[in-house]
Amino acid sequence: CCLREVTARVPQRAVCRRADAAIGCFNQHYGHFKVKSPKFVPFTELQHEQILRECIDVLRIPQTIIAGYLKHGIEHYPEAQCLLRCFLIREGLYTDAGGPDLHRMSVQCEGNYSDEQFRRKASKCVGKLQKQCLDKCELAFRICDECITGEVQLLSVFVGASKSTSNSVTVSPSRT
């Protein structure tokens, strides 16, 4: 059969050539494999926590900042806004160039993406904030806080993951 021929003729070390030839056999006997575009699969709580820990490590965010924004709010901690931005980017929910991925955010947070009015309102809000030339971290936070939350509970996912990774430390906001 076709696959026996591949194993006999293509050297075992040539794994890419073998794979290509095996796919050729499949196509020859069964037709072409139709690839559907990948769908976004929501992250689990454990994955949220792991992604957040990675961002905490990369950005070197001290536990005092985490405890502080959990107690006083993200808006008082620029470091927490950068942590949120990192979290969103690593989860594939946001890019600096494209802004929020409303569909993915809605799938992740069981939001109301199918509502055309929500999408238009959120897109308009995002556009207004992008024109304000905010720093990248503040922009990501304000988009979540002002444009998305209400329909998509994104900040609650971030705060939930933060609570799971934080220690109990008492702090005051870095700015008021």
Summarised one tens digit per residue, pLDDT across range 36-76 is: 666 777 888 899 999 999 999 999 999 999 999 889 989 99
- Quote the CA–CA distance of 138 and 144 in Å, as a whole number: 10
Q: What does the pLDDT read at residue 16?
A: 87
**Bridge-based pairing state of the strands 94-95 and 99-100:** antiparallel
Residue 91 burial (CB < 10 Å; 0-12/13-18/19+)?
Answer: buried
Q: What does the pLDDT read at residue 112?
A: 64
Where do the structural domains in the chain lie, given as residue ranges? 1-35, 45-165
- Quote the CA–CA distance of 65 and 171 in Å, as a whole number: 8
Phi then psi for residue 100, to 5 deg, are -75, 145
Ranges assigned E (strand) in the chain: 94-95, 99-100
Fold of the 45-165 domain: Recoverin; domain 1 (1.10.238)
Top mean pLDDT of 2-11, 85-94, 107-116, 150-159 is at 85-94
pLDDT (tens digit per residue) in 142-157: 999 998 876 556 677 7
